[in-house]
Amino acid sequence: MRTWKQDPEAVRADILNAATAEFAQNGLDGARVQDIADRIQTSKRMIFYYFGDKDGLYRAVLEQAYRSVRQREAELDLKGLSPVDALRRLVEFTFDHHRDHADFIRLVMIENIHDARHMRKIESLSGTSNAAIDQLREICEAGKAAGLFRDDISPLALHWQISALSFFNVANRSTFSMNFGDGLFSEQAQAELREQVVKSILAIVM
């Protein structure tokens, strides 16, 4: 609680960031409104004032998280690259991006535990438009046009596979390490895994 009046938008943003961390760390049910308030020295009352209820806050967190991700995806510049290089770049970007944004991955895991029930209520997320898939579609078309890619490649299935490998790498790290050791998560091994993922994807399209 900074001592006096401040920009409402700043307060909102503070709460949102604190909530993102709290929800990502503890899940929707495990998160505590009080703990979110404590993270930024505000009161629970403020949180309800700005976001209505816990679910509303969670939805705002989810919305912001997705918006951020989509924006970063949109910023990926593949212009001028050959289809193969563009695809390689896209895969590398996704793999790295997921590793760098574990909180987002966790929020998605949590939302899946809840069968995407909350996402469904968020209007801004209902539109299925998605930069990642658009870029992939362009790459595929260019690749097919150039006779480099197979004709029966589905951009969606391709995206599914890129996502799966990049997502699992972050999402399941804990249990995978428990079961098989953490050897695959050293910097070296991750670099190799990344390259393997790229090659797998390229192998599919070619």
Partner DNA sequence: AATGAATGAGCCTTCATTCAT
Partner DNA sequence: GATGAATGAAGGCTCATTCAT
Applying CB under 7 A, the residues found at the interface with DNA are 1, 4-6, 8, 11, 31-34, 42-46, 48-49, 52-55
Identify which of residues 48 and 167 has a Cβ nearer to DNA in the complex.
48
Position 8 contacts its own copies (CB under 8 A): no
Least distance (Å) between residue 19 CB and DNA: 11
The two three-digit tokens of residue 20, written as one number? 């993102």
Closest CA to 67 of 113, 20, 12: 20
Identify which of residues 3 and 179 has a Cβ nearer to its own copies in the complex.
179
Q: How far apart, in whole angstroms, are the C-alpha atoms of residue 104 and residue 69?
A: 8
**Part of the chain binding its own copies (CB under 8 A), chosen from 35-43, 53-61, 71-79, 160-168:** 160-168
Q: How far apart, in whole angstroms, are the C-alpha atoms of residue 34 and residue 39?
A: 9
Identify which of residues 10 and 164 has a Cβ nearer to its own copies in the complex.
164
Q: What is the DSSP string of 34-61?
A: HHHHHHTT--HHHHHHHHSSHHHHHHHH
User: Burial level of 157, CB count in 10 A (0-12/13-18/19+)?
Assistant: exposed
Residues that bind its own copies (CB under 8 A): 26-30, 106, 108-116, 119-120, 125-126, 128, 130, 133, 156-157, 159-161, 163-165, 167-169, 171-181, 183-184, 189, 192-193, 196-197, 199-200, 203-204
